[in-house]
């Protein structure tokens, strides 16, 4: 009896030691990867100053999800705080105290948005540039015009803390947006503009807004990096949207109601997505119906 107990204890000791070694390796490797810098060439984007372009920039900022993490006043906010995952806050994008705007050129803003690379080449953490890498010069420039015009707000978002579970998931490749810069082709040639129209090309362009949560194939499932209490994202390919007419799809994005009338969980950011134009939503629906 005593012998078995001793063996058991020994086994347990070895297991604990192995876990400690594994976590040590995870911390070492992830810290190194997070500290890696990226060289990105400057991509010139147009400079817009008209009120119409600024208004369009604001609409893009809201409807492409930027406000979900940076706040509707652009002052930054904590969007994920969880003992296991850690704490993540979007930066204060204004020129106020704690904000980054005054010390960033347009090149640096473009690099952050489309490449996930910050000033001095460091990789931005949990900034989902994977979803924004295909954004046209025109859209990026309008968002920058809006940022430049927005009022300065004093706010110092708390420092980021990468929790143990986030590090393990990142280590295992389960959170692609954790360090988007690692997965983006930084030499890709950006498109100048994408013409709005109810067609598949435009629908595919708009669908990039949805891939961060609904996954790359748009088949849904657990959201990468999300805490366990978040519901899985729905399948929004043709199979998932079987019960939807175009009209009902527009209603879903505008009012947060499914085709059967039930409420969509507010984790699905329909309030901000409702700022999409009819053309964007119709093109999106047309494209999604061709998938799966």
Note the residues at the interface with ligand HEC (CB under 6 A): 64-66, 68-70, 79, 88, 90-91, 93, 100, 104, 109, 112-113, 118-119, 124-128, 132, 143, 209-210, 212-214, 223, 231, 233-234, 236, 252, 258, 264-265, 267-269, 273, 284
Between 19 and 192, CB nearer to ligand HEC: 192
Between 96 and 118, CB nearer to ligand HEC: 118
Structure tokens at 247: 């009209």
The CB-of-1 to ligand HEC minimum distance in angstroms stands at 52
Structure tokens at 116: 């996930």
Between 109 and 171, CB nearer to ligand HEC: 109
Structure tokens at 11: 């086994």
Quick one: which of 118, 87, 116 has its CA closest to 183?
Answer: 116
The CB-of-15 to ligand HEC minimum distance in angstroms stands at 35
Residues 6+ apart with CB under 8 A from 105: none
Q: Return d(Cα 246, Cα 280) in angstroms, integer.
A: 12
Between 91 and 137, CB nearer to ligand HEC: 91
For Cα atoms 90, 34, 77, give the angle at the middle one, nearest 5 degrees. 10
Q: Return d(Cα 149, Cα 59) in angstroms, integer.
A: 14
Q: Please enumerate, as own/partner, the contacts of 256-264 that have beta carbons within 8 Å and a separation of 24 or more.
A: none
The CB-of-96 to ligand HEC minimum distance in angstroms stands at 14
Structure tokens at 178: 């954790």
Between 103 and 187, CB nearer to ligand HEC: 103
Quick one: which of 227, 228, 236, 235 has its CA closest to 286?
Answer: 236
The CB-of-197 to ligand HEC minimum distance in angstroms stands at 17
Span between the terminal Cα atoms of the chain, in Å? 59
Between 189 and 262, CB nearer to ligand HEC: 262
Q: Return d(Cα 274, Cα 287) in angstroms, integer.
A: 18
The CB-of-162 to ligand HEC minimum distance in angstroms stands at 10
Between 10 and 245, CB nearer to ligand HEC: 245
Structure tokens at 10: 């020994």
Q: Return d(Cα 81, Cα 131) in angstroms, integer.
A: 22
The CB-of-44 to ligand HEC minimum distance in angstroms stands at 17
Q: 10 Å Cβ neighbour count for 70? A: 23
The CB-of-187 to ligand HEC minimum distance in angstroms stands at 21
Between 14 and 228, CB nearer to ligand HEC: 228
The CB-of-198 to ligand HEC minimum distance in angstroms stands at 15
């Amino acid at each position: 009896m005593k012998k078995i107990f001793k063996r058991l204890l020994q086994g347990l000791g070895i297991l604990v030691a192995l876990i400690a070694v594994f976590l040590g390796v995870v911390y070492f490797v992830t810290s190194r990867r997070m500290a890696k810098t990226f060289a990105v060439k400057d991509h010139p984007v147009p400079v817009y100053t008209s009120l119409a372009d600024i208004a369009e920039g604001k609409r893009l900022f809201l409807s492409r999800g930027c406000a979900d993490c940076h706040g509707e006043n652009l002052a930054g906010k904590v969007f994920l705080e969880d003992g296991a995952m850690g704490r993540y806050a979007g930066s204060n994008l204004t020129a106020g105290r704690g904000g980054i705007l005054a010390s960033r050129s347009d090149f640096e803003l473009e690099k952050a948005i489309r490449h996930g690379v910050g000033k001095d080449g460091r990789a931005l953490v949990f900034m989902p540039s994977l979803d924004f890498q295909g954004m046209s010069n025109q859209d990026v420039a309008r968002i920058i015009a809006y940022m430049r015009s927005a009022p300065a707000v004093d706010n110092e978002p708390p420092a980021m803390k990468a929790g143990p579970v986030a590090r393990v998931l990142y280590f295992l490749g389960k959170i692609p947006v954790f360090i988007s810069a690692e997965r983006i082709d930084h030499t890709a040639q950006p498109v100048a503009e994408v013409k709005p129209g109810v067609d598949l090309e435009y629908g595919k362009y708009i669908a990039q807004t949805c891939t961060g949560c609904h996954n790359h194939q748009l088949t849904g499932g657990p959201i990468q990096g999300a805490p366990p209490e978040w519901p899985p994202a729905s399948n929004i390919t043709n199979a998932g949207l079987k019960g939807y007419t175009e009209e009902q799809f527009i209603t879903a994005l505008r009012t947060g109601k499914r085709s059967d009338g039930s409420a969509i969980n507010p984790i699905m950011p329909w309030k901000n997505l409702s700022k999409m134009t009819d053309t964007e939503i119709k093109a999106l629906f047309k494209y999604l119906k061709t998938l799966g």
